[in-house]
A and B are shown apart, each in its own frame.
Chain A
Amino acid sequence: MKISCPSCDNNKSFLIPLWVRCTFKFNKDGTISILHVRQLESLEDKIVDQGKTSFAITCKECGNDAEVILNEYEDLETQKRQSLALGDL
């Protein structure tokens, strides 16, 4: 898997939005304290679904949508298979 930014060529740091369930309490002075934060979504599923949902992975450097390539060697394998097939002919 490879994640990259088509705009600025960043391939290291990205931001992903995530739904969480937050448990909190009201203090006596009216302030709020957070007791617990629980993740509601699978990050793996979100990464794989990049481009299918409106919650996109964005580049940390420039803020544009990132591109997720699940199998970066797919094109290479296809080329190999095609050249082998041509060789057989």
Chain B
Amino acid sequence: MKLLCLQCGNYTYFETDITTVKEITTDPDGLSIDNALFPDLNYTEDTIRDNLKDIVDYVLKQDDSGLAFDPETESYYNRHIICARCGSGKVSNPIPRPLPCDLSLEEELDKNREEFNYLRKERKHHENKLPVLRQQ
């Protein structure tokens, strides 16, 4: 899962606006518009694929600064990618981020000490069970 719509839970289908390039050909009958073709490449298709890859990579690498605040709905939305199922802009990278906390760091550490100790014990438990190479 790379992106998640917080409105409908979709994590597969998305939409984004990108630029591409078309070719205008003039002839005596008028103008015709088609894909821009060069001898070794289809420029229109390549720009669509490259620009889509760029915008997706950019959004995936961004942190919270990629989200903009909408005062009307009092929620954050993605400025670049929207959900293709429900049209919502509440599309985010589904990596949990640290929430703002009223506690000081020391209080937070104390609060989570038991959980951390359990995690450490769990790790030691697995460490002790690592396969050991037999000596010949």
Contact = CB atoms under 8 A, between A and B. Distances in A.
Contacts of B18: 19-20, 22
A88 B33 CA distance: 46
A37 B24 contact: no
B16 A21 contact: yes
Interface of A: 1-3, 11-26, 30, 32, 34-35, 37, 40, 43, 47, 57, 60
Given A30-B2, A43-B33, A60-B36, A22 B52 contact: yes
Contacts of B52: 22, 24, 32, 34
9 contacts: A2-B26, A13-B23, A16-B21, A21-B15, A21-B17, A23-B84, A25-B14, A32-B56, A47-B31
B12 interface: yes
Contacts, number: 93
A25 B52 CA distance: 11
Interface of A is mostly: strand
Contacts of B22: 15-16, 18, 43
Given A20-B18, A32-B52, A11 B26 contact: yes
Contacts of A1: 31
Interface of B: 1-3, 11-27, 31, 33, 36, 43, 48-49, 52-53, 56, 84
Contacts of A57: 24
